[in-house]
């Protein structure tokens, strides 16, 4: 296509010294250059640098030397690392599952026509808009060991005899951080899926009604298949974001108690920035790569289909 | 008829109400805590869900005893500069990829999209060493330059979708008249895509306002911190949590983005859905 135009009359007409600049390849290259420079320098280069660092013993303030796989080997011998790997998978699976179910449910509710729909839809997005670090502070206070309002309510109405220690014991802390992640992630699923639901042709449902289909059958055989591509992309995004999460857990628990809520992001921050061991930290964050790789594969499948 | 109202309630209003309660309660809790005095906050005999005596003592603490306004300004500065950098470069890139259609342009489009999937958690360590070498450690400019790495992919993708909706004939006419690419870009494309530019800009602004990991890693001086980082480091001292001022800070740190968002909510929703549909 580009060749065609360049060699047509229009292209020859401009055959001058400026011709070079006006060739499509050169022109396109120049337009994308500023973005390319920033992304190459501050994204692609650090991406590679991070892999290199994971093979070195670099410490903050001192450049390290190549140590081969020794960072990885010491991680494999560390219980904290394996616990972190478990926590990351647990956190991702449970949170994404509930975000998907609840987000989809809310999308279906909001997809009906009712008064104040625009306003409700706008309000529903708030957990997604507001800085996560700040809402995490609010949850930190909601989960406070002495003054939790949830405990106050449950004790008052007699559902509890002793207060729940939300962030103080391992199982509760894990569930609490998952809950906050779900809270934050529902709106993304809801708004994304609502957009998909609106594109479904209503006549399909009308035809199904004539055939006497139940709501479940309509959902299973019309809604779900048609929304599947979009749902897959949204879920993939959510998986990579949740797997590589950091701020929410760092504020609520800092990975504690007893490393029960450490995920790859928080452990690598603790080792690299708080502890100064950049090489070891880089090795920990390298374990995010496989999930990143899989999400790239999945999204590219759908991108190609669209094209 | 009565039966129908009940099913409507059970199927629609009840679940919707529960969702709203769950999603909005933390904001109410920030608000309620902000306007209570310590005496009321730590009195378990009082119903914590109500404000019994309104008090401004937490706001006084936040605004007079912490550099909160300075943090707001820092966050604002970084959000504006990184948004401007990202918008201008993304506009050019999106136009180049979507409209000039040179060899490899679609590959480049997909490549830029994948950049959006790369999470900050795998970049912050190498970036920390780079920031140090570039003498940008503890400087807000480090954030202004690094935030575009996640803003550009998003904005470019969104704007590509938008440019796609502008009829090609407009450009071809201008080209027939001998207009240059730059002229067309500036005089035809930009004015026609203002709504798209606006949603990309709002998105970029909220995304950088919300960033936490880079700001936590690269900034160490209290006066240079952003809101989310500054609050926790200044208002939690060892075991002492100043919950009142903390909640006031969370509330007032959220208000600017919530305001920007509320004015342009349609563009914002269009942004998410547009980016997903592409």
Residue range B199-208, pLDDT digits in tens: 899 889 999 9
Per-residue pLDDT at A90: 97
Per-residue pLDDT at A3: 46
Query: Does A291 reside within a domain?
Result: yes
Return the percentage of chain B with pLDDT > 90, whole number.
49
Residue range A41-81, pLDDT digits in tens: 999 999 999 999 999 999 988 888 899 899 999 999 999 99
The residue in chain B having the minimum alpha-carbon distance to the alpha carbon of residue A62 is B129
Q: Does A18 touch chain B (CB under 8 A)?
A: no
Task: Identify the residue with better confidence: B184 or B90.
Answer: B90
Contact B201, B83 (CB under 8 A): yes
Residue B227 with chain A: CB contacts under 8 Å:
131, 134
First-residue to last-residue Cα distance in chain A: 16
Q: Which structural domains are found in chain B, ordered by start? A: 73-277 (1.10.3720.10)
* Structural domain for A83, as ranges: 70-201+227-306
Contact A43, B149 (CB under 8 A): yes
Per-residue pLDDT at A76: 95
Q: Does A132 touch chain B (CB under 8 A)?
A: yes
Average pLDDT over residues A252-256: 90
Q: How far apart are CA B247 and CA B36, in angstroms?
A: 10
Average pLDDT over residues A205-227: 89
Q: What are phi and psi of A162, to 5 degrees?
A: -120, 145
User: H or E element: which one contains B276?
Assistant: helix B265-277
Residue range A87-130, pLDDT digits in tens: 999 999 999 999 999 999 999 999 888 888 888 888 898 999 89
DSSP letter for each residue of B80-112:
HHHHHHHHHHHHHHHHIIIII--TTHHHHHHHH
On the question of pLDDT at A4 being above 50, the answer is: no
| Cα-based distances in Å from A139 to A211, B227, B230 | 48, 17, 18
Query: Does A216 reside within a domain?
Result: no
Average pLDDT over residues B168-175: 83
Query: Does A110 reside within a domain?
Result: yes
Task: Identify the residue with better confidence: A305 or B71.
Answer: B71
Query: Does A108 reside within a domain?
Result: yes
Per-residue pLDDT at A12: 53
Query: Does A270 reside within a domain?
Result: yes
Q: Which residues contact A51 (CB under 8 A, 6 or more apart)?
A: A282, A286
Query: Does A31 reside within a domain?
Result: no
Of B85, B117, B228, the CB nearest to A296: B117
Contact B86, B147 (CB under 8 A): yes
Residue range A7-31, pLDDT digits in tens: 555 555 555 545 666 677 788 888 8
Chain B, residues 106-125, CB within 8 A of chain A, namely 106, 108, 110, 112-115, 117-125
Per-residue pLDDT at B90: 95
What is the three-class DSSP state of A62?
Answer: strand
Structure-token pair, residue A1: 């296509």
- Domain total in chain A: 1
Residue B278 with chain A: CB contacts under 8 Å:
306
Query: Does A81 reside within a domain?
Result: yes
On the question of pLDDT at B262 being above 50, the answer is: yes
Query: Does A18 reside within a domain?
Result: no
Average pLDDT over residues B100-107: 81
Structure-token pair, residue A104: 């989809």
Estimate the crossing angle of helix A24-39 against helix B148-164, to 10 degrees.
150
Least Cα distance to A165 among B62, A210, A174 occurs for: A174
Return the percentage of chain B with pLDDT > 70, whole number.
95
pLDDT bucket at A251, cuts 50 / 70 / 90: very high
ipTM field? 0.91
DSSP letter for each residue of B220-251:
-SGGG--HHHHHHHHHEETTEE-HHHHHHHHH
First-residue to last-residue Cα distance in chain B: 44
| Cα-based distances in Å from A102 to A15, A126, A127, A190 | 61, 16, 14, 8
Q: How far apart are CA B225 and CA B231, in angstroms?
A: 9
Q: What CATH number does the domain containing A75 carry?
A: 1.10.3720.10
Average pLDDT over residues A236-257: 93
Dihedral sign of CA atoms A172, A173, A176, A182 in order: negative
Average pLDDT over residues A229-250: 92
Residue range B208-239, pLDDT digits in tens: 999 999 999 999 999 999 999 999 888 887 77
Per-residue pLDDT at A11: 52
Contact A174, A91 (CB under 8 A): yes
| Cα-based distances in Å from B254 to A137, B209, B269 | 12, 9, 19
A276: phi > 0 → left, psi -120 to 50 → alpha, else beta; which?
A: left
Q: Which residues contact B94 (CB under 8 A, 6 or more apart)?
A: B155, B156, B157, B159, B160, B162, B163
Q: How far apart are CA A167 and CA A177, in angstroms?
A: 9
The residue in chain B having the minimum alpha-carbon distance to the alpha carbon of residue A113 is B12
Q: How far apart are CA B106 and CA B116, in angstroms?
A: 16
pLDDT bucket at A1, cuts 50 / 70 / 90: very low
Chain B, residues 142-201, CB within 8 A of chain A, namely 145-146, 148-149, 152-153, 156, 181, 185
Residue A39 with chain B: CB contacts under 8 Å:
112, 115, 149, 152-153
Q: Does A206 touch chain B (CB under 8 A)?
A: no
Q: Does A8 touch chain B (CB under 8 A)?
A: no
Task: Identify the residue with better confidence: B278 or B252.
Answer: B252
Q: How far apart are CA B254 and CA B258, in angstroms?
A: 6
The 8-class DSSP code of residue A263 comes to -
pLDDT bucket at A187, cuts 50 / 70 / 90: very high
Contact B69, B134 (CB under 8 A): no
Residue B15 with chain A: CB contacts under 8 Å:
105-106, 109
Distance from CA of A43 to the nearest CA of B (A): 6
Structure-token pair, residue B238: 């060892």
Contact A279, A57 (CB under 8 A): yes
Q: How far apart are CA A235 and CA A222, in angstroms?
A: 19
Dihedral sign of CA atoms A241, A246, A249, A255 in order: positive
Burial grade of A198 (CB within 10 A; 0-12, 13-18, 19 or more): exposed
Q: What are phi and psi of A106, to 5 degrees?
A: -65, -35
Residue B125 with chain A: CB contacts under 8 Å:
50, 53, 268, 272-273, 278, 281-282, 285
């Amino acid at each position: 296509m580009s060749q065609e135009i360049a060699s047509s009359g229009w292209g020859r007409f401009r055959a001058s010294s400026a011709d070079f600049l006006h060739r499509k390849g050169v022109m396109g290259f120049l337009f994308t250059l500023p973005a390319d420079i920033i992304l190459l320098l501050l994204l692609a280069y650090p991406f590679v640098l991070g892999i290199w660092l994971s093979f070195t013993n670099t410490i903050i303030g001192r450049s390290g030397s190549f140590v081969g796989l020794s960072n990885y080997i010491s991680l494999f011998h560390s219980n904290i690392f394996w616990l972190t790997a478990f926590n990351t998978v647990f956190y991702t699976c449970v949170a994404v599952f509930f975000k998907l179910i609840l987000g989809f449910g809310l999308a279906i509710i909001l997809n009906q026509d009712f008064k104040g729909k625009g306003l409700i839809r706008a309000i529903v997005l708030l957990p997604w808009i507001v800085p996560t670090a700040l809402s995490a502070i609010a949850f930190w206070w909601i989960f406070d060991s002495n003054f939790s309002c949830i405990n106050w309510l449950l004790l008052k109405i007699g559902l509890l005899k002793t207060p729940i220690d939300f962030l103080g014991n391992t199982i509760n802390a894990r569930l609490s951080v998952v809950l906050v992640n779900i809270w934050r992630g529902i709106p993304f699923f809801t708004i994304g899926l609502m957009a998909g639901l609106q594109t479904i042709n209503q006549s399909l449902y009308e035809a199904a009604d004539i055939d006497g289909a139940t709501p479940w059958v309509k959902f299973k055989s019309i809604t779900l298949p048609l929304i599947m591509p979009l749902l897959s992309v949204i879920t993939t995004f959510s998986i990579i974001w949740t797997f590589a999460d950091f701020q929410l857990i760092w504020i609520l628990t800092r990975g504690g108690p007893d490393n029960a809520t450490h995920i790859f992001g928080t452990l690598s921050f603790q080792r690299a920035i708080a502890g100064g061991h950049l090489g070891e930290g880089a090795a920990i964050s390298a374990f995010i790569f496989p999930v990143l790789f899989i999400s790239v594969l999945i999204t590219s499948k759908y991108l190609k289909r669209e094209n | 008829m009565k039966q129908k109202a009940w099913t409507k309630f059970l199927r629609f209003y009840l679940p919707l109400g529960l969702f709203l309660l769950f999603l909005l309660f933390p904001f109410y809790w920030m608000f309620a805590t902000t306007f209570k005095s310590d005496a009321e906050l730590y009195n378990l005999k009082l119903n914590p869900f109500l404000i019994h005596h309104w008090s401004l003592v937490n706001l006084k603490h936040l605004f007079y005893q912490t550099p909160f306004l300075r943090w707001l300004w820092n966050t604002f500065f970084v959000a504006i500069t990184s948004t401007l950098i990202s918008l201008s470069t993304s506009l050019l890139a999106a136009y180049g990829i979507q409209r000039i259609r040179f060899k490899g342009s679609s590959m480049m489009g997909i490549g830029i999209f994948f950049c959006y999937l790369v999470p900050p958690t795998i970049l912050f360590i190498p970036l920390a060493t780079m920031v140090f070498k570039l003498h940008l450690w503890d400087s807000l400019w480090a954030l202004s330059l690094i935030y575009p790495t996640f803003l550009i992919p998003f904005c470019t993708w969104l704007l590509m979708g938008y440019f796609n909706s502008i009829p090609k004939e407009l450009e071809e006419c201008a080209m027939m008249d001998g207009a240059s690419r730059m002229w067309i870009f500036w005089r035809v494309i930009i004015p026609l895509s203002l709504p798209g530019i606006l949603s990309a800009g709002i998105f970029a602004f909220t995304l950088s306002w919300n960033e936490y990991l880079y700001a936590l890693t690269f900034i160490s001086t209290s006066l240079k911190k952003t809101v989310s980082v500054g609050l926790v480091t200044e208002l939690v001292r060892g075991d002492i949590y100043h919950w009142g001022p903390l909640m006031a800070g969370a509330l007032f740190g959220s208000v600017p983005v919530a305001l920007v968002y509320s004015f342009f909510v349609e563009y914002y929703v269009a942004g998410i859905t547009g980016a997903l549909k592409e």
